[in-house]
Amino acid sequence: MQLTHGENQFERKTFPITLVCDHIYFQQNIGSLFRISEAFGVENIIFLGKDIPLTPRKINKTSRSTHLYVPHKIIEETSELVNYLQENNFEIIALEIASNSKPLREVNIPENQKIALLIGSEIDGISNELLEISHQIVHINMFGNNSSMNVVQAASIALYEFTS
């Protein structure tokens, strides 16, 4: 028998993971990122960019109101984000297909270390400036003709790997 939301046996837990969204603007993706972040116990979301559309009316359908519970902030400038991540001693892990990326299953999650998971824009991916400061760059192995997937799907796979 299917359990209701109130009947499930899942342990409530928060992980020291900050999801960093590099110029993600599609509102359906933003709402879904809130929902998946809440589901995987993400501590915080940072949206990098100007004029990030955090209009609750438009993201509420996909976020299912989780935007009310997941702490988040906007940082407009890349240089400010770089300073924030470095000053706060994050292990910076970029989710991107790159010449020096390794399969996601080979990611090294340091114990007792805050993680910044960088995910890229729907069009351009993660900027080179952020890739350069990343401690690890990981990709999801794919076996079809397409060489990319939706940013929310990719983030979901990575967060599952990081939290399981």
pTM: 0.93
The dihedral formed by the CA atoms of 20, 31, 145 and 159, expressed in degrees to the nearest 10? 50
Give me the sign of the Cα torsion angle 33, 74, 100, 164: negative
What single letter denotes the amino acid at residue 11?
A: E
Q: For the chain, what are the domain ranges?
A: 15-163
Long-range contacts of the stretch 31-34 (C-beta < 8 A, 24+): 31/58, 31/59, 31/60, 31/61, 31/62, 31/63, 31/67, 32/62, 32/63, 32/152, 33/151, 33/152, 33/155, 34/59, 34/62, 34/63, 34/66, 34/67, 34/70, 34/72
- Domain 15-163 sits in CATH at 3.40.1280.10
Residue by residue, pLDDT tens for the chain (164 residues) are: 777 766 766 777 889 999 999 999 999 999 999 999 999 999 999 999 999 988 877 788 888 888 888 999 999 999 999 999 999 999 999 999 999 999 999 999 988 899 999 999 988 999 999 999 999 999 999 998 887 899 999 999 999 999 98
pLDDT on residue 145: 85
What is the model's pLDDT at position 73? Answer: 97
